[in-house]
């Protein structure tokens, strides 16, 4: 079965972590990690990719290379729990009602949404604990609140600029981009509210908040590579 190349990178990351753990002496020191929460269209994907490249360039011979878990985070969760890949469609970045989840479980359509959420939490906690990873979305900032090695980041921007980004990068019309942004942001807001009882927009949940209207990707990446040194 063909596998997305970036997912191969994610699997390689886990293998490298296991190899490094086996050959390294036991220590309480943990490698740093980063979680990224983002508004739709605030350039989370491009910043995440450039951040991974910059962190790898800082230490090209690292036993465990910095690895971005974005779209492939769900695939990693399924792989961790020996679940079939086609369950990915049942794991939206959104809240699911207890009634809906229970009905689906009774009908045998897929594992309980609550069960999948628990597996999500466990995978994100495990990856963040191992370090040298960038976790995008899925409440990573809340899951790692007590992790001293994690830098928690939020990317925001004006609706106007985010619409422009979606139009330019994804060839959307302005009306389609505005609708998509509204729905995606609402879904992420519900996800955090239901599962973590918190407001995704509360800046106190993050170590750093960047308004990408005023900062280039490279500037955000530079500030993050400097900020992560506080966690080393």
In sequence order, which residues have a C-beta less than 8 Å from that of residue 22 and are 6 or more positions away? none
- Contact 147/118 with Cβ under 8 angstroms? no
Q: What is the pLDDT of residue 119?
A: 76
pTM assigned to the model: 0.75
pLDDT at 191 over 70: yes
pLDDT at 210 over 90: yes
**Least confident among 46-60, 99-113, 123-137, 148-162:** 99-113
CA dist 70 and 68 (Å) reads 6
Which of these, 102, 198, 210, 111, lies nearest to 152 by C-alpha position?
A: 210
Chain segment 46-98, per-residue pLDDT in tens = 999 999 999 999 888 888 889 898 866 656 666 665 655 555 544 455 444 44
pLDDT average, residue stretch 218-228: 94
Q: Where are the domains of the chain?
A: 5-16+30-221
Which DSSP letter does residue 40 get? Answer: T
Superfamily of structural domain 5-16+30-221: P-loop containing nucleotide triphosphate hydrolases (3.40.50.300)
pLDDT at 157 over 70: yes
Tell me the H-state helices in 64-146: 73-80, 98-106, 113-130, 140-143
pLDDT at 145 over 80: yes
């Amino acid at each position: 079965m063909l596998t997305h190349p970036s997912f191969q990178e994610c699997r390689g990351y886990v293998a490298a972590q296991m190899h490094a753990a086996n050959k390294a002496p036991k220590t309480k020191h943990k490698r740093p990690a980063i979680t990224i929460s983002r508004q739709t269209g605030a350039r989370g994907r491009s910043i995440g990719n450039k951040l991974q490249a910059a962190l790898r360039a800082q230490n090209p011979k690292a036993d465990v290379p910095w690895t971005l878990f974005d779209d492939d985070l769900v695939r990693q969760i399924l792989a961790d729990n020996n679940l079939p890949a086609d369950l990915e469609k049942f794991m939206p970045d959104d809240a699911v009602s207890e009634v809906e989840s229970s009905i689906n479980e009774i009908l045998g359509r897929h594992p309980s949404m609550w069960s999948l959420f628990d597996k999500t939490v466990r995978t994100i906690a495990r990856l963040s604990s191992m370090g040298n990873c960038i976790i995008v979305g899925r409440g990573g900032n809340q899951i790692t609140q007590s992790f001293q090695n994690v830098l928690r980041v939020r990317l925001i921007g004006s609706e106007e600029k985010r619409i422009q980004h979606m139009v330019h990068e994804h060839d959307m019309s302005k009306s389609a981009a505005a609708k998509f942004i509204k729905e995606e942001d609402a879904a992420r807001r519900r996800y955090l509210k239901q599962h973590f009882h918190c407001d995704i927009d509360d800046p106190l949940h993050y170590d750093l908040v960047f308004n990408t209207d005023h900062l280039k990707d490279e500037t955000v990446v530079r500030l993050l590579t400097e900020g992560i040194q506080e966690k080393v």
